[in-house]
A and B are shown apart, each in its own frame.
Chain A
Amino acid sequence: MPKFTKRALLLLLAGVMLSASLYGCTGGTKDGTTPTASAQTGELSNGNSVTVGIAQDLDSLDPHKAVAAGTSEVLFNIFEGLMKASPDGGVIPAVASDYTVSDDGLQYTFTLREGVKFHNGNAVTMEDVLYSLERCAGSENDGTPLISAFLNVTSIEATDDTHVVLTLKEPNLEFINSMTAAIIPANSSDTIATAPVGTGPFAFTSYTPQQSMEMKKFDGYWGEPAQLDNVTFRIITDTNTQVMGLQSGTLDMVIHLPNTVKPQVEGQFTVLQDTMKLVQALYLNNSVKPFDDVRVRQAMYYAINVPEIIDFVCDGDGVATGTSMYPAYTKYFMPELAETYQQDLDKAKDLLAQAGYPDGFTMTITVPSNYTQHVETGEVLSQQLAQVGITAKIQPVEWETWVSDVYRGRNYEATVSGIAASDMTGREMLERYVSDHQKNFINFNSTEYDEVMEKALTTLDADEQTQLYKQAQTILNQEAASLWIQDLCDLVVMDQDLDGMTFYATYVLDMSTIHYK
Chain B
Amino acid sequence: MRKRNWYGRLGLVLTVLMVGFAGVGMFWTPYEPTAMVGADKYAAPSLAHPFGCDQLGRDILSRTMEGAGSTLMIALAVLAIGFVAGLLIGAFCGYFGGVVDALVMRICDALAAFPSILLALVVLAVIGPGKYNVIGALGILFIPSFARLVRGEFLKVRDRDFVRSARLMGVSNGRILFVHILPNTWPTLLSGLTIGFNNAVLAEASMSYLSIGVTAPDVSLGRMLNEAQAVWSTAPWCMLCPALVVVLTILGVSMLGEGLRERMAA
- A residues adjacent to B (C-beta < 8 A): 1, 4-5, 7-8, 11, 15, 26, 239-240, 243, 260-261, 263-264, 308, 311-312, 369, 375-376, 378-380, 382-383, 386, 392-396
Residues of B close to A26: CB separation below 8 A: 232-233
Shortest CB–CB separation between residue A479 and chain B, in angstroms? Answer: 28
Q: Is the C-beta of B215 less than 8 angstroms from some C-beta in chain A?
A: yes
The interface residues of chain A, by DSSP majority, are classed as helix
Residues of A close to B36: CB separation below 8 A: 308, 312, 380, 383
Interface residues of B in 20-53 (CB under 8 A from A): 34-36, 38, 41-42
Q: Is the Cβ of A383 less than 8 Å from the Cβ of B35?
A: yes
Shortest CB–CB separation between residue A384 and chain B, in angstroms? Answer: 9
Q: Closest residue of chain A to B7, judged by CB?
A: A4
Q: In the complex, A192→B217 CA distance in Å? A: 43
Q: Is the C-beta of B251 less than 8 angstroms from some C-beta in chain A?
A: yes
- Kindly supply a per-residue 1/0 record for chain B positions 210-254, scoring 1 wherever the CB is within 8 Å of any chain A CB and 0 otherwise: 010001110000000010011111100000000000010001001
Given A382-B216, A396-B215, CB of A243 within 8 Å of CB of B128: no
Q: Is the Cβ of A392 less than 8 Å from the Cβ of B7?
A: no
Q: Is the Cβ of B56 less than 8 Å from the Cβ of A380?
A: yes
Q: Is the C-beta of B152 less than 8 angstroms from some C-beta in chain A?
A: no
- B residues adjacent to A (C-beta < 8 A): 3, 7, 34-36, 38, 41-42, 55-57, 128-130, 211, 215-217, 226, 229-234, 247, 251, 254-255, 258, 262
Given A263-B234, A383-B35, CB of A312 within 8 Å of CB of B57: yes
Q: Is the Cβ of B230 less than 8 Å from the Cβ of A395?
A: no
Q: Is the Cβ of B233 less than 8 Å from the Cβ of A382?
A: no
Q: Is the Cβ of B230 less than 8 Å from the Cβ of A260?
A: yes
Residues of B close to A311: CB separation below 8 A: 38
Q: In the complex, A310→B217 CA distance in Å? A: 19
Q: Is the Cβ of B38 less than 8 Å from the Cβ of A308?
A: yes
Q: Is the Cβ of A395 less than 8 Å from the Cβ of B217?
A: no
Residues of B close to A4: CB separation below 8 A: 7, 255, 258
Shortest CB–CB separation between residue A317 and chain B, in angstroms? Answer: 13
Q: Closest residue of chain B to A15, judged by CB?
A: B247
Q: In the complex, A11→B255 CA distance in Å? A: 11
19 sampled A-B residue pairs with Cβ under 8 A: A4-B258, A7-B254, A11-B251, A11-B254, A240-B229, A260-B230, A263-B231, A264-B234, A308-B36, A308-B38, A311-B38, A312-B41, A376-B56, A380-B36, A380-B56, A382-B216, A392-B217, A393-B217, A395-B215
Q: Is the Cβ of B230 less than 8 Å from the Cβ of A243?
A: yes
Residues of A close to B42: CB separation below 8 A: 263
Which 4 A/B pairs are nearest by Cβ-Cβ distance? A394-B216, A240-B230, A263-B234, A311-B38
Q: Is the Cβ of B217 less than 8 Å from the Cβ of A383?
A: yes
Q: In the complex, A260→B34 CA distance in Å? A: 19
Shortest CB–CB separation between residue B228 and chain A, in angstroms? Answer: 10
